[in-house]
Structure 1
Amino acid sequence: MKGPDEEEFREFVTNARETLRGLAYLTCGSWAMADDAVGAALSKLYVRWNRIAAPYAYARRMVVLAAIDETRRPWRREQAAGDLLPEQPGPDRYGAVDDRLHVQAALARVPPGQRAVLVLRFYEQLSVEETAEVLGRSQGTVKSQTARGLAALRAALAADENRVTTAQGGDSR
């Protein structure tokens, strides 16, 4: 690729990289894996740049699929050092940050395919049809994965709430 196409691609990357990185992070739960997923997607996009009519839609699909793939790699089963630190008692003084972190931690426990559907539907605000197109799945599958993903997210959040209540000496019912 040379000249105007190269410049167009660079401008696209400059404008879309952080959004794609955030999408990948929400899909896989790790900034390092998100960077890998975005890099893989952008390298595929670069090769096909002249043939892609909707580069953001293509990049979004490639990022989500790469992020799911990153979570399935067996050598990626390590645990972040932050996960090994002892839990801090009680919520922090910044409730919104605490809530966001709880939701992100719960989202990380949702199976990758369901997590991808939830991220596309509720973070990217795509319709069922658009999500099905991005993931290459049927609309029925997207609907069932949305329902199952939301149920798994609710269960993870409830488990966290029960764990916090028990750790604080409250009623564990």
Structure 2
Amino acid sequence: MTRHEQRGWATPEAFCADVRGPLVGTLELYVGQRTTAEELAQEALVRAWQRWDQLEHPRAWTYRCAFNLARSGFRRRQAERRANARVQAMSSRVVVDPDAADAVAVRRAVSSLSERQRQVVLARFYAQLTVAETADVMSCAEGTVKSLTSQAIGALRRSGLAVDEPGLDQPSEVATDA
């Protein structure tokens, strides 16, 4: 007869069936919420099941594990509340960004491009890669990068964006990489 059988638990299933109800009840009183108590009990029982052959006192170990999980949850929620309070304090100091509308318009226009055009625009103008670097990233020829860049800028102009900044459609690297 094993040490667990002496306590009436021939299998981990029998142990879980015997301990689950009282464990959930105890945890509900501890954390104040039935659903949270059930989740904590489930996790503690799974961990006990995984270590079944190693546990000398499985009931005590499972309760300790469950209480530790609950305390970790308390600490995590406290940290979240502190972080939310900091964010709330920061957001009360609202700074209006006059370029926000422009940024939204640019994002919307860029997202409407084909995947390859979007990739070339982001690589060339956001990541500031050269034509050669962009070609390497996209596994294509430099001429393809130039063609996609031209097509993308045309599409952005047609969407209403003013892409007439000096050198935007022909970055200085394009002329020197050719």
| TMscore range, shorter length | 0.3 to 0.5
> Normalising to structure 2: TM-score of the pair?
0.37
Larger radius of gyration between Structure 1 and Structure 2:
2
- TM norm structure 1: 0.38
